[in-house]
Copies of this chain bind each other. A is one copy, B any other.
Amino acid sequence: MLERFYVDEADAVRVREADLRANVASIFEKMNVPPEDAVLGADALVTADLRGVETHGVSNMLRAYVAGYNRDEINPTPNLQIVRETAATANMDSDRGLGIIVTPKAMEIAIEKARNTGLGMVTITNGRHLGMASYHAMMALKHDMIGMCMTGCPPSVLPTFGAVPRLGTNPIALAAPAGEEPPFVFDAATSVIAGNKLGLASRLGLDLEPGWVADGDGTPLMDPVPAPRDWAPGSARRYQQLPLGSTREGGSHKGYGLACMVDILSGILAGSAFGMVPGRPNFSHMVAAYNIEAFTEIDQFKSLMDDFLRELKSTPPAPGHERVIVPGQLEVEATEDRQANGIPLHKEVVQWFQDICNELGIAYRLS
């Protein structure tokens, strides 16, 4: 059972967290990102790698971000503007700023509003790639709040019964603090599988599982197929992504409906756009904060969360499985390992770091 896609250790070099942070921040600075924002961007990426979410860490994303800055698709010095605001809400035009850097600023606003009114929510238009959605949701934790984050992505997922992609992988993240247990952190695409995971499967030469993709005509493929070697976001595709549930009988109308919900609560509510607008290199995000104290005693909430998570973890497992895992648990385990032993990067990724550092004239720090 594949719990996560991790890079094969045989192909990997372990690098120190601090070195990776410094190198990533230097690269962002060379893209004309202000120093403070460069540190923030590095934190978002390296946090994903620490948590074992390699799909949203440096390996998959930093190259794309550099290309985006170089093509002037991403604005390194965006002028963030609040275009509409109420006591609990704001709508922000992020001026093509990179999502991993602008979304934390929107989340700070949501948290401040939740402190005052109980809830806070900020929609973000004119955005670029969000990164790992749970990064933004988790910002609420230290304020004793629940955090939520969603993003409407460009179309890659079929609606139920459809032959043409209409929806993004549109993830939903929710983070809630516990007492003694690690926080609950859920973060999942509303497709069967995240687009970046298909990219990773392609790179690792794995099979795609039954129900992960449809054929070119929209027919769900319910047997394993080899991952196409050329899978990349936006590339011509032999296979198409399916919503969570895979088929109507399997509940794909639910994954499809949840993906629509994300488009509505991010892009459409912001008066902006939605995934299927043609040729759109545009993302709309939303963040929300729920102030626990507005509903109940914080200690009571955390104690219930501990009970909840422990009950789940102590569920007797089904045959062939060792344990029941709670959302966020594998990420805590990965973080402990990677903080102690370094972050595994594929040799090719390390080589890319060497090359880009040479090219940009900055110090290479990963060895």
Complex Cα spacing A107 to B237, Å: 45
Query: Is A308's CB within 8 Å of the partner chain B?
Result: yes
Chain A 184-195: CB-based contact to B (< 8 A → 1; otherwise 0): 101011101100
Q: A222-251 vs B: 1/0 string, CB under 8 Å? A: 000000000000000000000011101111
Q: Name the distance in Å between A122's Cβ and chain B's nearest Cβ.
A: 9
Q: How many protomers of this protein does the assembly include?
A: 2
- List residues of chain B with CB within 8 A of the CB of A117: 86-89, 117, 119
User: Which has the most chain B C-beta neighbours within 10 Å: A87, A158, A251?
Assistant: A251
A176 vs B219: C-alpha distance when bound (angstroms): 30
The contact of A264 among B176, B258, B264, B273, by CB within 8 Å, is B176
Indicate whether A211 reaches chain B with its CB closer than 8 angstroms.
yes
- Which chain B residue lies CB-closest to A315? B162
Q: Looking at chain A's contact residues, is the secondary structure mostly helix, strand, loop, or mixed?
A: loop
Interface string of A153-168 (1 = CB under 8 A from B): 0000011111110100
Q: Is the CB of B315 within 8 A of A89?
A: no
Is residue A254 contacting chain B, with contact meaning CB distance below 8 A? yes
Interface size for chain A: under 10, 10 to 19, 20 to 34, or 35 or more residues? 35 or more
User: Chain A interface (Cβ within 8 Å of chain B)?
Assistant: 1-3, 84, 86-89, 91, 116-121, 123, 146, 158-164, 166, 172, 174, 176, 184, 186, 188-190, 192-193, 209-211, 214, 217-219, 244-246, 248-251, 253-258, 260-261, 263-265, 267-274, 276, 290-292, 294-297, 300-301, 304-305, 307-308, 311-312, 315-321, 323-327
